[in-house]
Homo-oligomer: A and B are copies of this chain.
Amino acid sequence: MPAKRPPIPLTRERIIEAALHIADGQGLRRLTMRRLGDALQVEAMAIYHHLPRGKDALMDALAEHVTAVHAEPAGSWQETARAWCRASRDALREHPGVLALALTKPPKGRAAAAVREQTEQLAEAGLPDAAEAVRALRAYVFGAVAVEVQQSGWADPPGDEGETEPWRPPSRGGGSAAADADFERGLDALLAGLARS
């Protein structure tokens, strides 16, 4: 018989990765400490050693993961803002299963740090009210992704007919070209509006 292969050590990162996989594939309501343990080949209780506050900590970590993006300052504040918005949209679209958390939980930790960093970058690039601009930009991205994911029908059958088929992220590759164009067009308009005020 083959030797029992040495177990991969449990880490916060592996836990979050597995949790995202479950949430994206089966929905947030089926993300369960016990299921998560199974996916990690471990008893559910082992997770508490890495996330002491349990499921609440897990939810916070998921929201943070999908929301703590980074972008380098570009030439103008407009280009910097554009980079931030694209990065945020990509991160949110990649994990529709935790979108509800991301749109709803106030930013903490690295997510809050990202908001501050973005604000500083825009302020340094000469934008007068950078805090208000960041609020408007975040709102724009949140709304755009929300309607896009809604329209993709991601939450429609939380397990409809056949087997539990994992979900395909909204049009990887082709199809969503229209959504991309809409997003860029709206973003241009918003940036123009922010420049005028």
Contact = CB atoms under 8 A, between A and B. Distances in A.
A156 B106 contact: yes
A76 interface: no
B146 A142 contact: yes
Of the listed residues A103, A132, A139, A182, the one surrounded by the most CB atoms of chain B closer than 10 A to its CB is: A139
Contacts of A158: 56
A193 interface: yes
Number of copies: 2
A102 to B, nearest CB: 9
A104 interface: yes
Interface in A93-110: 99-101, 103-107
Contact of A146 (B104, B150, B154, B156): B104
Contact of A143 (B144, B149, B193): B144
Contact of A138 (B140, B147, B149): B147
Contacts of A100: 100-101, 103-104
Nearest to A158: B56
A61 interface: no
B182 A149 contact: no
A141 interface: yes
Nearest to A105: B155
A70 B28 CA distance: 30
B189 A135 contact: no
Contacts of A182: 132, 135-136
Most chain B C-beta atoms within 10 Å of own C-beta, residue among A106, A153, A182: A106
